Chain A
Amino acid sequence: MSLMSALARMEAAAAGRARPRATVRHRHLAEHPLVLVPLTTAGEAGAPLGALAGTDRAAPELLVVPQPRDRDQRWAFLARLAGVLLPHLESALDDVEFEERKETDPETGKKVTVQAELCVDAPQLLVPNGPGVEFVRLLGRSMRFRRTAEDDPDAAYPAPPRVPLLGRWLTQYGERARVPGSCLLTSMTELLSRHWATGQSALEDQHLGALLAWIDPPEGLTGAEAALRAETGRDAGGQLLCPPAGPATDPAFDNKLLAPAVARFDAGVHGAEEEVRTLIESQLRPTWEAVWRGVDLLRGLPEGERVAERFKRDRWSYTGHRDRVRSGEPPQPRLDDAVTAAAKLAAREQAQARLEAQEALDDPLVMAERRLAGEAFEGEVVEVEMAWSEGKRPMPRPLVTLRTTDRPHLSEGGKVHRAMDEGARQSAEFVDGHGPGTLTLRLTNGMGRSKEPAPGTVPEKGDRLCWTLFEHSPRGGPGLPDVEDTPWTHGGPPSESPAAASVPAQTPGLPDPGGTVGSERPVEERTPAPLPLPDPVTSEDLL
């Protein structure tokens, strides 16, 4: 944890309520996000128990599975979930604008500029917490390989129509959520803890009720008191006053209330289904309200200047998925191939660097953290000396001396950057430090193309400037090989044959005490099939 975040937490602990970690909102927040609060059955791999979902705070849809082990009920649940979620996820497919982008012409192999469609908006999905994001991913994984009766008339247990499609969308959203700063799918705990420092640990911040208690404690309670109540307060019947934000339920709820009700439902007792519904809703409602309270709190912060630029990348991601679905591509494979994995990692590292830079540029409080860490500095210009580069066409290379109380980690020749008006940028290199508090930079660009710098591009004495040691717009790496050109070092091109998904094709491990990486992994994992088979369906499967 950075010293400044630590200090903010300590201020919060002393003050009894959360303190700001940001002065602007660093994440896109849709006008009408869809909030999804899911619950799952304890001990089962993603057997949903119920959910509240919708874009209307006053009228969520309640979905309940009275007997989670019953396949038909599960299908019914997923079909209804698709009925609620897909209209939202597909709501922005056809409202497009055109963007120029470079593409390789498949015939000539040359880069050409094309007008590409870009969806004007991308629907947002909000869940309460990190495990909620994981659960969306799990739901996506469990649905996208299912086959409907239309896909496969012989399927023993055909999935309802549109369920596999929902699986693909949730997979897309779940993968996108791994990209730093992305906002298609995000959790309220992540959003809130990005913007406020509580007087508790980051671990405890994962409890949505406790987190909100610190940010917005009820009248008469400190954050710590309200958080303790949210974490441990129970009623006379031993039930939590603030049920967990899911997807896991509280064991006391399962054992004392839910299990008997499910047993009555199984026994065919009249009204038992309604009883289960009421019970599940009692667990979901407080979290539903909590997520919307979080939305209100976040709306109180003005949006950061560069948030829209980042959200545009989410829109590209949304548009790309739309195009893949429309062109009839198969669902996303179970595992990434080597090239896809490397490309994703590179994209995420770039997104991380971009996010860190943009948050600092958008928010003086974030920049202060970078300044404290020696990664940026602010100072007043005390001297400007004109100078030019050597060579045939001398270019302006003025020397600018600043006075600063910051302590940047600079060494000779180190590059620094600053944002100028209208999105322009300027770079400089560190020339020298003249004793404490004074340093000289040589401007190296951003002054136009002539010998004389363009007006306003060279700072003047008395200007206050903020320079960063990090780049403002980190570049991406080079392209990776095409999947079919995967080199021998990485196993060669993935096999074309559809991998069997029914039996784990275990390759015998080598007689190797240390273990060779991957020697025990099923073959299918190395060679994801272009046309994946559905998951095996047995009479006892869980989802």
Chain B
Amino acid sequence: MSAPPRPAGTASASGPAAPSRYPSAEAASPAEAAAGATEAILHDALHSASRGVVVDSPPGAGKSTLVVRAARELAATGRPLIVIAQTNAQVDDLVGRLADADPELPVGRLHSSEPRPYDPALDEYAAVVTSAKIADLRELPVVVSTAAKWSWVKTETPWPHAIVDEAYQMRSDALLAVAGLFEKALFVGDPGQLDPFSQVGAEQWAGLTYDPSASAVTTLLSHNPGLPQHRLPVSWRLPSSAAPLVSAAFYPYTPFRSGTGPGDRSLTFGAPSDGTPVDRVVDEAAASGWGLLELPSRTTPRTDPEAVDAVAQVVRSLLTRRGATTDERSDASAPLTADRVAVGTAHRDQAAAVRAALAALAADEDTADAGLTAVAVDTANRLQGREFDVTVVLHPLSGRPDATAFHLETGRLCVLASRHRHACIVVCRAGVPELLDEHPSTEPVQLGVTVKFPDGWEANHAVLSHLAAHAVPWER
């Protein structure tokens, strides 16, 4: 969901002494602005009288860092805490981060009774306790699990505190099932990513404040409009070439900025371009942060062979030209390796086709050791929350006969366009602007449902018009 514009005057319940909701991000340095926001969030989380605090976190704004820090500070007050995340991968990641940050802190990992229920790497941490039964973990200062697992837990005495992670991707009914477990909670999430959805029609409840198919944050704020709301103002992931575009296109009412400036990062290649469109678009992206490899306009099936081939060739160019990155974290340059590159698609069969194409290229002797098959190739849904140096995106509307609500969903494009630290290369057939123009706009309107912004049409146009300046036409 995109951020619903909110009333500017929502008072922080912690009173006039609390720091202002949006620290003067324009004046301060990114680090100061981010630190100010974090202090204000932690202040509310620890001391606010309200039962909830909501934090919007744009891509790469340090959400995990915030969650880990909030969890440690809450635990330090001596009151036990639960953390509710949405997927097992997120839970394992958070537990690992907590254990890394504070090896002494006992952390419970509540898991299912399925085989291989959690990442075995967690067994290496001395202070991490894993169990399928809450009774084994009840006394620990922090217990982490998925919303699905938490919903089976019954308790007479609720935990004083909870942190709900990825709250915008959580459905309202999932929150309903777990909200009895805690007294107060910190809700953290990215409003710009993909909305939760239901497999069956839920129109019957559209417009109700507690519509079970809506996002947990929508329901929470409908019933508790006075909760303190915060926003992390700086993306540490997105480079200065990407943050303004992603912010304007997907977060029009809650802008953020990049933590780095134009000269802070670089992507260079040891091997020169051979002049082909693939190498040229890679160079364009290395120089400007964006590249558009534009294939001739044509209606294609989802697994457009030419586009899939183009994506694979771009990945090969990235990995065989001795790429190196430098950034603000260290003076030394780091090689651009396969684990720092990802390919994002809209559909699973597209991801499968790209994997097959990469495997075919990898069979070639010249590129056998480039690690082409080690590149993460996945759909937007599965790339949510992940970070890479360079991403290659097969545009969701490429080759489509029509735009559909699925392909126009802003969250999908937002996820795909906001995974990278250095550059993003989009592979797309020409003609998408026309496709957008021809999209019928006869959406039904449900009374009482908040209109979502930005609208898919506007966001797609914003991204495409930006990419147009970085386009390289494809020739075979």
* Chain A residues at the B interface, C-beta cutoff of 8 Å: 178, 180, 335-339, 341-342, 344-346, 348-349, 351-353, 374, 409, 413, 444, 477-478, 480-481, 485-492, 510-521, 525-526
User: 15 extra interchain contacts, Cβ-Cβ under 8 A, other than A341-B208, A489-B216, A518-B222?
Assistant: A336-B204, A338-B176, A341-B210, A342-B172, A342-B210, A344-B212, A346-B173, A489-B223, A490-B209, A490-B219, A514-B4, A514-B5, A517-B448, A518-B209, A526-B208
A489 CA to B164 CA, complexed, in Å: 12
Q: Assess the A516–B221 pair: CB atoms within 8 A.
A: yes
Supposing A487-B176, A487-B179 touch, asked if A341 and B220 sit within 8 A by C-beta, the answer is: no
| B179 cross-chain contacts in A, Cβ below 8 A | 487-490
**For chain B residues 217-249, which have a beta carbon within 8 Å of chain A?**
218-225
* Chain B residues at the A interface, C-beta cutoff of 8 Å: 4-7, 51-52, 115-116, 148, 151-152, 172-173, 175-177, 179-180, 198-202, 204-205, 207-214, 216, 218-225, 253, 348-349, 352, 448-451, 453
Q: Assess the B51–A514 pair: CB atoms within 8 A.
A: no
| A511 cross-chain contacts in B, Cβ below 8 A | 7
| A409 cross-chain contacts in B, Cβ below 8 A | 348-349, 352
A336 CA to B212 CA, complexed, in Å: 11
Most buried by A among B209, B225, B348, B450: B209
Q: Assess the A518–B51 pair: CB atoms within 8 A.
A: no
Supposing A349-B198, A488-B51, A518-B208 touch, asked if A339 and B176 sit within 8 A by C-beta, the answer is: yes
A6 to chain B, nearest CB (A): 12
Selected contact of A478 from candidates B51, B177, B219, CB within 8 Å: B177
Q: Assess the B200–A345 pair: CB atoms within 8 A.
A: yes
Supposing A341-B211, A409-B348, A488-B224 touch, asked if A514 and B450 sit within 8 A by C-beta, the answer is: yes
Q: Assess the B173–A345 pair: CB atoms within 8 A.
A: yes
Q: Assess the B151–A477 pair: CB atoms within 8 A.
A: yes
26 A-B pairs (CB sep. < 8 Å): A178-B204, A180-B200, A338-B176, A342-B176, A345-B173, A345-B202, A345-B205, A345-B213, A349-B199, A349-B200, A351-B200, A444-B115, A480-B177, A485-B180, A486-B176, A488-B224, A489-B176, A491-B223, A514-B6, A516-B4, A516-B221, A516-B222, A516-B225, A517-B214, A518-B448, A526-B208
| B151 cross-chain contacts in A, Cβ below 8 A | 477-478
Q: Assess the B448–A490 pair: CB atoms within 8 A.
A: no
B253 to chain A, nearest CB (A): 8
| B6 cross-chain contacts in A, Cβ below 8 A | 512, 514
A480 CA to B181 CA, complexed, in Å: 12
A94 CA to B201 CA, complexed, in Å: 34
Supposing A352-B199, A514-B450, A518-B209 touch, asked if A478 and B152 sit within 8 A by C-beta, the answer is: yes
Residue ID in chain B nearest A353 by CB atoms: B199
A95 to chain B, nearest CB (A): 32
Q: Assess the A342–B177 pair: CB atoms within 8 A.
A: yes
Q: Assess the B349–A374 pair: CB atoms within 8 A.
A: yes
Which 10 A-B pairs rank lowest in CB-CB distance, beginning with the nearest? Answer: A514-B5, A487-B179, A518-B209, A342-B173, A338-B210, A342-B212, A517-B222, A491-B223, A489-B179, A348-B200
Supposing A178-B204, A514-B5, A515-B450 touch, asked if A489 and B52 sit within 8 A by C-beta, the answer is: yes
A234 to chain B, nearest CB (A): 28
Per DSSP, are chain A's interface residues mostly helix, strand or loop, or mixed? Answer: loop
A5 to chain B, nearest CB (A): 16
A228 to chain B, nearest CB (A): 25
A409 CA to B348 CA, complexed, in Å: 9
| A338 cross-chain contacts in B, Cβ below 8 A | 176, 210, 212
| A515 cross-chain contacts in B, Cβ below 8 A | 4, 450-451
A525 CA to B208 CA, complexed, in Å: 8
| A513 cross-chain contacts in B, Cβ below 8 A | 5
| A525 cross-chain contacts in B, Cβ below 8 A | 208
A245 to chain B, nearest CB (A): 22
Q: Assess the B212–A489 pair: CB atoms within 8 A.
A: no
| A510 cross-chain contacts in B, Cβ below 8 A | 7, 225
| B7 cross-chain contacts in A, Cβ below 8 A | 510-512, 514, 516
Q: Assess the A336–B205 pair: CB atoms within 8 A.
A: yes
Residue ID in chain A nearest B211 by CB atoms: A341
| A352 cross-chain contacts in B, Cβ below 8 A | 199-200
Residue ID in chain A nearest B200 by CB atoms: A348
Supposing A478-B151, A512-B7 touch, asked if A490 and B172 sit within 8 A by C-beta, the answer is: yes
A525 CA to B211 CA, complexed, in Å: 12
Q: Assess the A521–B209 pair: CB atoms within 8 A.
A: yes
Selected contact of A178 from candidates B201, B209, B224, CB within 8 Å: B201
| B173 cross-chain contacts in A, Cβ below 8 A | 341-342, 345-346, 480
A171 to chain B, nearest CB (A): 13
Most buried by A among B52, B173, B449: B173
| B224 cross-chain contacts in A, Cβ below 8 A | 488-489
| A518 cross-chain contacts in B, Cβ below 8 A | 207-209, 222, 448
A338 CA to B208 CA, complexed, in Å: 9
Residue ID in chain A nearest B352 by CB atoms: A409
A338 CA to B218 CA, complexed, in Å: 14
Q: Assess the B451–A514 pair: CB atoms within 8 A.
A: yes
Q: Assess the B200–A488 pair: CB atoms within 8 A.
A: no
Q: Assess the B176–A481 pair: CB atoms within 8 A.
A: yes
A476 CA to B437 CA, complexed, in Å: 43
A424 CA to B154 CA, complexed, in Å: 32
| A490 cross-chain contacts in B, Cβ below 8 A | 172, 175-176, 179, 209-210, 219, 223
Residue ID in chain A nearest B217 by CB atoms: A489
A353 CA to B199 CA, complexed, in Å: 9
| B198 cross-chain contacts in A, Cβ below 8 A | 345, 349
| A516 cross-chain contacts in B, Cβ below 8 A | 4, 7, 221-222, 225, 450
Residue ID in chain B nearest A175 by CB atoms: B204
Q: Assess the A488–B450 pair: CB atoms within 8 A.
A: no
A122 CA to B204 CA, complexed, in Å: 25
A420 CA to B7 CA, complexed, in Å: 59
B7 to chain A, nearest CB (A): 5
Residue ID in chain B nearest A339 by CB atoms: B176
Q: Assess the B180–A487 pair: CB atoms within 8 A.
A: yes
| B172 cross-chain contacts in A, Cβ below 8 A | 342, 490
| B349 cross-chain contacts in A, Cβ below 8 A | 374, 409
A182 to chain B, nearest CB (A): 12
A91 CA to B297 CA, complexed, in Å: 63
A517 CA to B7 CA, complexed, in Å: 12
A518 CA to B208 CA, complexed, in Å: 6
Most buried by B among A348, A491, A516: A516
A413 CA to B114 CA, complexed, in Å: 12
Supposing A341-B211, A480-B177, A526-B209 touch, asked if A489 and B225 sit within 8 A by C-beta, the answer is: no
A345 to chain B, nearest CB (A): 4
A480 CA to B178 CA, complexed, in Å: 8
A349 to chain B, nearest CB (A): 5
Q: Assess the B219–A489 pair: CB atoms within 8 A.
A: yes
A222 CA to B209 CA, complexed, in Å: 51
| A480 cross-chain contacts in B, Cβ below 8 A | 173, 176-177
A335 CA to B448 CA, complexed, in Å: 14
Residue ID in chain A nearest B449 by CB atoms: A517
Most buried by A among B7, B349, B451: B7
Residue ID in chain B nearest A444 by CB atoms: B115
Most buried by A among B201, B212, B225, B348: B212
| B115 cross-chain contacts in A, Cβ below 8 A | 444
A520 to chain B, nearest CB (A): 7
Most buried by A among B51, B198, B204, B207: B204
Residue ID in chain B nearest A347 by CB atoms: B200
| A444 cross-chain contacts in B, Cβ below 8 A | 115
Q: Assess the A481–B222 pair: CB atoms within 8 A.
A: no
Residue ID in chain A nearest B153 by CB atoms: A478
A491 CA to B214 CA, complexed, in Å: 15
| A344 cross-chain contacts in B, Cβ below 8 A | 212
A335 to chain B, nearest CB (A): 7
B177 to chain A, nearest CB (A): 6
A515 CA to B213 CA, complexed, in Å: 19
Q: Assess the B225–A477 pair: CB atoms within 8 A.
A: no
Q: Assess the B200–A489 pair: CB atoms within 8 A.
A: no
| B223 cross-chain contacts in A, Cβ below 8 A | 488-492
